[in-house]
Amino acid sequence: MDRRAFIRTSGILTASAMMANESNAAEKTANAPAPLKNMVNPFEVEGKFYKAALHVHTTTSDGDVDVATRIPQYRKHGYDIVAITDHWKTNDLSGYSDEKFLAISGMEFHPKTGTGAPAHHLIALDIPHPLKLDSGKPAQELVDQVINAGGKVIYAHPYWTAHTLEEMSEITGYIAIEVFNAVCGLGAGKSYGNVHWYQIMNRGCVLPAVSVDDIHSSSNINLGWTMIKAKALNTADIMDAISKGSYYASCGPVIEDYRVENGTVSLKCSEASKIRFLYDGSGGGRTFNADKGKSITSASWKFGDSKRTLKWIRAEVIDSDGNFAWANPIKIETDKA
């Protein structure tokens, strides 16, 4: 090959590589997870709090008991809502809901990642029965199928699946992340998704978070739950609340009030050893500790007195046993901290 031909060929290859890189970048940008734009503060809307289990398995996949046994177990523990989310399979839940209890049709599906990391684990809520998903299809295609079927998607236990921000950014359309998954901590010690939640929000994707059991064995019931604030206990109102982040997550403490007013964030809760406010960026936190041997039930912080501009702020409550509750982020438009 003469020099001019080599230059022409090299130029074509370089241009092709640049176009491929631009295409890949555009694809990643297009699939970047989106913030929840219509998020509300559950403590500022009308309704009642309902205790929910949003990640539950039965013998339809790898649980230890069937649906007819699992649902009464949760009702006995005071749950108002249970989503049955067996792997790749839906269940016939007709006859399980009444005026005091709601059963939600769901599924856990786990399509491959594009990085070679372990598969995505995703929770689909409020989907028809039956619904078939092809495990060989790309993750985004399956997420879109769930959404087009009327369902909602939650990103499950990213710490347990060894995921990073890269895997979490491969898909878009999920409306929450699991900040706590009880079963993931029993063997692997990987219950908490705080870091993943923090990282994705620092990228501009401000999302709420849920807490779940992910029950497989009956002995692991009532270890994590989500308190949903809704107008009424029916599928339409509960799913509307979930889609707007009208809830808080817990594995113990009760959050009684949480709000931002005039540059001050405040929270009231059950007895706690710590109340922590977390916000975007480096550092990004303020903790209020109870005196030794005592507890606190409220805290407030006037963040508007300092010079830093906040984008969002969320809260954590930690009780004397080390159990957490998580208040969802509140977006800060003009206040400074």
Average pLDDT over residues 308-316: 94
Average pLDDT over residues 70-90: 99
Cis peptide before 118 (omega within 30 of 0): no
pLDDT, position 334: 58
pLDDT over 60 (residue 251): yes
Domain finish residue from 250, 272, 304: 250
Distance CA 207, CA 115 (A): 23
CA distance readout (Å), 131 to 87, 127, 252, 329: 12, 7, 34, 33
SS3 189: coil
pLDDT, position 266: 99
| 31 assigned to some structural domain | no
Residue 108 shares a structural domain with residue 77: yes
Task: Note the pTM of the prediction, 2 decimals.
Answer: 0.90
Which is it for strands 209-212 and 176-181: parallel, antiparallel or unpaired? parallel
Residue 122 shares a structural domain with residue 234: yes
Q: Summarize pLDDT for 256-309 with one digit per residue, the tens.
A: 999 999 999 999 999 999 999 999 998 889 999 999 999 999 999 999 877 778
Amino acid at 131: L
Q: Which residue has the higher pLDDT, 248 or 305?
A: 248
Please provide the DSSP assignment of 270-288 as one string: EEESEEEEEESSSS-EEEE
- CB 267 within 8 Å of CB 258: yes
Residue 234 shares a structural domain with residue 160: yes
| 10 assigned to some structural domain | no
pLDDT over 50 (residue 3): no
Amino acid at 187: G
Q: Tell me what the pLDDT averaged over the chain comes to.
A: 92
Q: Which residues of 157-179 are buried (b: 16+ CB within 10 A; e: fewer)?
A: bbbbbebeeebbbbbebbbbbbb
Distance CA 51, CA 292 (A): 31
Residue 245 shares a structural domain with residue 273: no
Residue 266 shares a structural domain with residue 190: no
| 27 assigned to some structural domain | no
SS3 73: helix
CATH number of 218's domain? 3.20.20.140
* Residues whose CB falls within 8 Å of the CB of residue 106, separated by 6 or more in sequence, listed in order: 54, 56, 83, 84, 85, 90, 123, 124, 125, 126, 127, 151
Average pLDDT over residues 59-63: 99
Which is it for strands 247-250 and 225-230: parallel, antiparallel or unpaired? antiparallel
Number of domains in the chain: 2
- CB 192 within 8 Å of CB 183: no
| 236 assigned to some structural domain | yes
* Residues whose CB falls within 8 Å of the CB of residue 154, separated by 6 or more in sequence, listed in order: 54, 55, 122, 123, 125, 174, 175, 176, 177, 178, 210
pLDDT, position 305: 79
| 23 assigned to some structural domain | no
pLDDT over 50 (residue 21): no
pLDDT over 90 (residue 168): yes
**In which residue are the tokens 């491959």 written?**
112
CATH number of 325's domain? 2.60.40
Q: Summarize pLDDT for 107-155 with one digit per residue, the tens.
A: 999 999 999 999 999 999 999 999 999 999 999 999 999 999 999 999 9
Domain finish residue from 250, 276, 305: 250
Residue 174 lies in domain: 42-250
Distance CA 178, CA 247 (A): 13
**In which residue are the tokens 């989310």 written?**
85
Residue 80 shares a structural domain with residue 53: yes
